[in-house]
Structure 1
Amino acid sequence: MGDLVTGEAVVLDLRVARLASRAVAFAFDVAVQFGLLLLVFLIFPVGFDDALQSALALTTTVAVMVGYPTAVETLTRGRSLGKLVMGLRVVRDDGGAIRFRQALVRALGGFVVDFWVLGLGGAIALFVSLFSAQGKRVGDYLAGTVVIHTRVPKREVSPTEMPPQLADWASGLDLSLLPEDLALAVRQYLTRYPELNEKAKWDLGVRLADDVGAAIRSPRAEYTHPHAYLAAVLAERRRRAS
């Protein structure tokens, strides 16, 4: 179990993915990327001169090798096909869901440094990951991300009480869009809320509430405290699960 520490010095108990599981996920993703490249080259137009064909081939390769992971991890909030198979997800260093910027930086770092252009087929990624406490590669350091397991053992925590004033609102939420890693980060925040100072309670609560609001497409109202908002979401999620 690896601990992620937020900017407010709050420890989130998220299980960091290690080299073996990430390598298998990477192999799945590489197979998909090479399959896409093969498909593109099979339907590639012919009749151009050699220089133009080389330029088009290079552009297509970069588009697939960088565009695929960027698009997929942005749309799925950190889960490529390989990560989905292995139960992994990319999250920010503070435990929040990644966005386009983090996905693009990871993909560029992977293509240029970790694996292909300078990476000697993954040698640099392997070397850096072995010396990283959280199994990070260069792309993760540049993007401020880490890969975690989403299939974590359940922990006994105190049930979150539903704020009465938000019960009706929470009953109409679509919580199927809430990622497991984000729900876990919210649970950790609510569990440790009494231990935090006032600034950390507010800053981390707002950050998590913004991520949750974006995920479930129901943002927090300005007059609603982040703790109440997050407690309502988690309590409703638990009620439906039970």
Structure 2
Amino acid sequence: MQDGIVIGEGVVLDARPASFITRAMGAMLDFIVVGVVITIILIVAGVWFFEVATLSGDVATIVLAVASAVIVVGVPVTVETLSRGRSIGKLASGIRVVRDDGGPVRFRHALVRALIGVFEIWLTLGGVAAIASLANAKGKRLGDLAAGTYAVRVRGGRQPSAPIVMPQSLAAWAHTADMRRLPDGLALAARQMLGRAARLAPESRARLADDLAGSIERYVAPGPPAGTHPEAFLHAVLAERRERELAAGQRERKRAEEQAELLHRLPFAVADPPR
């Protein structure tokens, strides 16, 4: 079975599950962050806590229980919900928790993961989570199995789109081809496909390129030379279309500047007074 996420267009994106070591590194970083938070809370509220403990043991127990619930459950749920599955540890290790269908996690997913994590992570020091993760093909722990989530590898920053480059073998053909009837929406779909082509599964990439090339070819005359690769055809059309739109924009700007200059002149060809 191929790992991947099927998006709305029926295309499989490569979304390989994060390795056990990567998840462990992220969990360790989260533990360190939680430990720092606990230390700061104890330092700041230490005097008040001991005063409460002196007055009433029941009150101190309630305070401890509430504080533990907030730190162990409340904080992870809030962070994962607001960050769409990326805690500080996951952000540093380059992973994200997503749903099984590839969508972002929501509050209920984060809550289920955190509640079960109390047992498999905190009460067992991560032992149960480690065993479950090693036994699952996608590295899921018990909380992931119950919530329908898993961790995938992602990059820390936004991935730049692949550049559109004119194939040298198609340059002469593209310069003379008529592509004025090409719809903007279809050109945008081709640009988005080429931008994420490297992240598509090979079968989905070839199928989507063939479909887009066939749709665009109806608006281009004459057609590309025989044997042209679909992605090369898309690159040539988009590159030529970009150059033509750039040239048209430059001509329009030049014409607007000339008209603006004429409007600022005095009538009857009288020279402007010196400033």
For Structure 1 versus Structure 2, the TM-score category normalised by the shorter chain is 0.5 to 0.7
Tell me which residue corresponds to 2:121.
Answer: 115
Structure 1 residue corresponding to 2:184, chosen from 140, 164, 183: 164
Distance in 2 of aligned mates of 1:163 and 1:98:
36
Tell me which residue corresponds to 1:36.
Answer: 37
8 Å Cα contact 2:7/2:13 also seen in 1: no
Count of aligned pairs: 175
Distance in 1 of aligned mates of 2:73 and 2:118:
7
Tell me which residue corresponds to 1:56.
Answer: 63
Distance in 2 of aligned mates of 1:109 and 1:6:
28
Structure 2 residue corresponding to 1:66, chosen from 65, 68, 73: 73
Structure 2 residue corresponding to 1:83, chosen from 81, 90, 104: 90
Of the structure 1 ranges 131-140 and 92-101, higher mean CA displacement relative to structure 2 is found in: 92-101
8 Å Cα contact 1:4/1:94 also seen in 2: no
8 Å Cα contact 1:2/1:15 also seen in 2: no
1:140 deviation in Å?
A: 0.6
1:98 deviation in Å?
A: 1.2
TM-score with structure 2 length normalisation? 0.54
Does structure 1 residue 16 correspond to structure 2 residue 23?
Answer: no
SS of equivalent to 1:43: helix
- Could you tell me the percent identity over the aligned residues? 39
8 Å Cα contact 1:37/1:61 also seen in 2: no
* CA offsets 1:86-140 (integer angstroms, 9 cap, x no match): 111111101111111211111112123x2123xx101100111111000000111
**Aligned-residue RMSD, C-alpha:** 3.9
8 Å Cα contact 2:5/2:15 also seen in 1: no
Tell me which residue corresponds to 1:207.
Answer: none
Tell me which residue corresponds to 1:105.
Answer: 112
| 1:134 to 1:38, Cα distance in 2 relative to 1, 3 A | same
Distance in 1 of aligned mates of 2:107 and 2:205:
30
AA matched with 2:90 = K
| 1:68 to 1:2, Cα distance in 2 relative to 1, 3 A | farther
| 1:42 to 1:163, Cα distance in 2 relative to 1, 3 A | farther
Structure 2, gaps ≥5 residues long: 165-181, 189-194, 209-237, 243-275
Does structure 1 residue 145 correspond to structure 2 residue 149?
Answer: yes
8 Å Cα contact 1:2/1:134 also seen in 2: no
SS of equivalent to 2:60: helix
| 1:50 to 1:43, Cα distance in 2 relative to 1, 3 A | farther
SS of equivalent to 2:101: coil
Does structure 1 residue 94 correspond to structure 2 residue 94?
Answer: no
Distance in 1 of aligned mates of 2:44 and 2:106:
32
Query: Which aligned runs of 4 or more in structure 1 are off by greater than 3 angstroms?
Result: 4-12, 165-168, 191-196
8 Å Cα contact 1:12/1:95 also seen in 2: no
1:14 deviation in Å?
A: 0.6
AA matched with 2:28 = A
Distance in 2 of aligned mates of 1:130 and 1:50:
42
1:51 deviation in Å?
A: 2.1
Structure 1, gaps ≥5 residues long: 169-182, 197-234
Does structure 1 residue 125 correspond to structure 2 residue 125?
Answer: no
| 1:131 to 1:165, Cα distance in 2 relative to 1, 3 A | closer
* CA offsets 1:19-48 (integer angstroms, 9 cap, x no match): 101111101101111211222222332322
AA matched with 1:116 = W
Distance in 1 of aligned mates of 2:183 and 2:79:
36
SS of equivalent to 2:3: strand
* CA offsets 1:139-183 (integer angstroms, 9 cap, x no match): 11111111011039x9x99x8xx9625999xxxxxxxxxxxxxx9
AA matched with 1:13 = D
AA matched with 1:164 = D
